[in-house]
Each structure stands twice: as structure tokens, then as C-alpha cells.
Amino acid sequence: MKNKQFLIVSALLLAWQVVLAKSLPSHPDKLKYPHFKVSIPDSGDYEHPLDGGNIAFIREDHSLPLINIHLYSRAGTYAIEGHGDGLAELTASMLRDGGTQAMTPDQLDERLDFLATSIRVAIGNTSSSANLDTLSRNLDESLGLFFDVLTKPRFDAERLSVAKAKVLEGMKRRNDDTRNIEPRVWQRLLQGENFFTNAMSSKADIDAIDAAAMTKASQTVFASGHLIFAISGDINAKAIIAKLNEKLKSMPVASNLPPVPDNPKPSPPGLFAVRKADVTQSRVSIGEPGLRLGDPDQIAFAVMNQILGAGGFTSRIMSRVRSDEGLAYSAGSSFRPGIFFPGVFRAFYQSKNPSVAYALKIVLQEIARIRNQPVSKNELEIAKQGMVSRLGVIFRNASGDVTRFAQDALQHRAKDYWKTYADRVNAVTAADVQRVAKAHLNPEQLRILVVGALAKVKPGDGSHGSLEVNAGMPLTQLPLRDPMTLEPLPLTR
């Protein structure tokens, strides 16, 4: 009997292998895939008004006994007065770690651990957020603690002292790594020395922060009237709305927020450098102010950027700088459309000091090529497929859906933005790509920043031109700032 069963199973497996072999293509490049399609829910089906002008996006998902609440505020550092970025950082950390009026920090930590609940708070430049993750059976107590953290903070003096010490210790290391130096200098070049996104704190600023300053900041940021909730999980929409409206009564009422500053003053185009002599590789950023969300050319420019450097190993910058020449491990480009002020286009790479100049030459060649020559049909299709497939990552589950809806409301995206996204991407032509590259990617407007060992970078590798020759402009050296006072340090060669 066993032998008979074995023979039957073997025969079936052999027959299946024959069928499978006939149905498989002769080469992987002949594989056919079904058309990629994502079902994008309608945000209006999940939007609910709350008391006080607040709103909530709620999507029930009873597959697991978990609840996730994202709270977004339209207020960020632009609405907070004084102390640079340090006040926002300390306020966010102390809201969570400083206890509540009814609980010491240790008591709060222990209770949240017991409830298997986590609370996180962040204050950004143009918006802020607070997140609550909890078990559905613990919702009522966890929600109470969540609102206590935001509206009744203790700002424990001992915890504040520890938090300040951590911030100051981090400040001491501001100039230790090019990964920290490059982004802040780049932001100053692209948005201006005094733009609010570049406000930094000195040691004196940190020392001056007290509970009163943090209370004022938290009441400005987390005030009823400009709040957007994204809620998903094992909840009942009607019940959670009633709970939220009750809790919102404990929050301060929002005053009119000031407008987000929209007047960055970027530096003139040029080649800039910050000396960091003790590194074997230097970092480079190349770019210029970009488009704002909703600009008619935004989608076409994003497709262009995908082909140029954002598409990973299929993109031109990565292919030439890394794959063909072996000059960098990481290379590419990014395009971030601005919401309240112009966004940024940035090409980037990190390379060994002698090869920095040659890699710059290649990146500038690729920028010129995408302006002057139409992209291929294959490049265009791969770029568009990559962008459209992003929809599957955004709208992947209940939490992702409502989080996207809330962020869209925060950023004033058109309600049909994602519904029409694939069609708008697929409508982009090679002529569109070349047109927006010519219109918005101007070699004469580029800011080029090098952070690294300038003495070894400037001459180049001896075969492919020096840094200044390849950039086509003289170099301006920028000073590092004293990490604690922010005063410019003397230039060294």
C-alpha cells in the first residue's frame, strides 16, 4: 500500500513538473507580471469632525487587539519663541520622560510598562506629533495617561537636569563627524543663515530653559483647535470620538498660529567647503532650491529625479559613480517638494578624498545630460513603475491609510492627490522630463558643498581635473562653529 501511494505521489509530482516547465519562460527577462494596482481608500470615508475644530481619521481593524493613535499638530518650532532647536527637543523629551502632575517619572514609566503602552512625542519645524500604542483592553487608562502627558506635565527637575546634560554632551560632538556637519551647513546654504529651520541652540540657551519655557511651548504646540488624529486598530469609531471630545476639554484652546515663514534666503550659487582634516572620505552635496507641493511640474520633476539619482542602482548617478567607476558606495539624488516654502533638489555622494573631484565631474555631466538629451523609453518606464509602486507601501494597512490621510490634511494636499497620482506619473513623457530638467535644474544656480579633508580633495586624483576646475568656480571655505557657543572658528588650511 505504501509503495502504491509513493508511486502515485511521484507520478503526480512528475506531471506537475512537466506542466510547470512548459509554462515557464525560457529566460527571467521574459517573465510577465500582472498589472500593479493599489486600491486607494477615500479619505472622506474615514474623516470625522471633533469638537473645537479638530479632526480625526479613523479606520477600524479588529484583526489584533491593538490600537494606534497618531496625534498631529499644525504648530512647530516656528510658533515657539526663543532658545533655538533646544527648547523644542527638551520639551518633547520631557513631556514623555518628566512625569505628570499625578505621577512621578518613575511611576509613569512603571505604569506604561505594566499596560504595555508606549507614548512618544516629537516637535518639528512646521508640525509636531504625539503617538500612543496600546492594547485595546487598556485604552481608557492609556488614553488618560496620554492626555495627562500632553496637558499636565510635571517637567521633573531631576529628569530635566539629566536631559540637559545629554543634550550638552551631544552638542560637544557637533563637529566630530561629517555626517552631522554636512546637513546643517547644507541647510544654511539652501535656506539662509537666519531662516527658522536653521535655528540652533548654544549652551547658554540650554542652560536658560526651565519648566516655564517648556510649559509655554507645549501649550502652544498641543492646543485644541489645530489637531489632527489618525486612529486605527481594534476600536469603535463612535466610541473613540466621544472619548476624544471628552479629553479635548482638558487641552488649552489654540490661539491663532502665526504663518509659517516662507522667505528663505539661500546663499548665492557657488562652490563651498568646510574643512574636516581627519577623514579619509569627504561628503558632497550638489543642488538648489526646488519646487513646492502642487507645482504643475512637481510630478514630472520627481520622475526626472528618479532617473537621475533617486532610483537606486537603475539611476544614472548611482550607475556611473558607483557601479561604473567605483568612486563611492553611496551616491544619488533626492527631491523634496516644499509645503510652506520652496523644497530642495540635492545630488550627493561620499568618496575617498582624491576621487571627490572626479566624482563631482561625473555628477555634473549627468545633470547636463538629462537637461540636453531625452531619456530612454526603458529608463522612463522603470522610473514611473518605481514611483507608482510606492502606493503599495503608503496604503498597506489601516494604520498606513489614516496616517497618510492625516499627514495630507496637515500638508494641505489635494484630496484626490493619491487617487490621481498613478495617472499623473504615467502621463509623464520623455519630453516632459527634459523640459522640467531644463527649467528647474540650472547648472548656474547650483550650490556645491564639500565637507572633508580639503588639502587632499582640492588637487583631485591627478588625472581627471581638480575640484575647482571640475566645478567651474572658485572655492569658498566656510568656518566650523564652536559647538557650544556657535561662534565661527578660525579658518585653517
Q: What is the pLDDT of residues 405-428, one digit of tens each?
A: 999 999 999 999 999 999 999 999
Q: Output 109 or 15, whichever has higher pLDDT.
A: 109
Going by pLDDT thresholds of 50, 70 and 90, the confidence category of residue 291 is: very high
Question: To which residue does cell 512625569 refer?
Answer: 99
As a whole-number percent, the residues of the chain with pLDDT over 90 amount to 90
Strands of the sheet with 55-60, listed across from one edge: 47-49, 55-60, 227-233, 66-73, 128-135, 118-123
Q: Among 17-21, 237-241, 307-311, name the one with the lowest average pLDDT.
A: 17-21
Q: Name the nearest CA neighbour of 248 among 71, 47, 99.
A: 71
SS3 string, 62-111, reads: CCCCEEEEEEEECCCHHHCCCCHHHHHHHHHHHHHHCCECCCCHHHHHHH
Is a pLDDT exceeding 90 seen at residue 39? no
Q: Output 20 or 42, whichever has higher pLDDT.
A: 42
| 18 class by beta-carbon count within 10 Å (0-12 exposed, 13-18 middle, 19+ buried) | exposed
Q: Cβ(449)–Cβ(346) under 8 Å?
A: no
pLDDT for res 29: 61
pLDDT for res 84: 77
Q: What is the pLDDT of residues 354-370, one digit of tens each?
A: 999 999 999 999 999 99
As a whole-number percent, the residues of the chain with pLDDT over 70 amount to 92
Looking at residues 23-51, what average pLDDT do you find? 78
Going by pLDDT thresholds of 50, 70 and 90, the confidence category of residue 255 is: confident
Q: Which three cell numbers stand for residue 17?
A: 513538473
pLDDT for res 34: 59
pLDDT for res 116: 97
Mean pLDDT over each residue of the chain, to the nearest integer: 94
Structural domains of the chain ordered from first start:
43-175+200-248 (3.30.830.10), 270-478 (3.30.830.10)
Going by pLDDT thresholds of 50, 70 and 90, the confidence category of residue 333 is: very high
Is a pLDDT exceeding 90 seen at residue 38? no
pLDDT for res 493: 61
Q: What is the pLDDT of residues 73-119, one digit of tens each?
A: 999 999 998 767 899 999 999 999 999 999 999 999 999 999 999 99
pLDDT for res 43: 95
Q: Output 128 or 35, whichever has higher pLDDT.
A: 128
- Indicate whether this model's pTM tops 0.85: yes
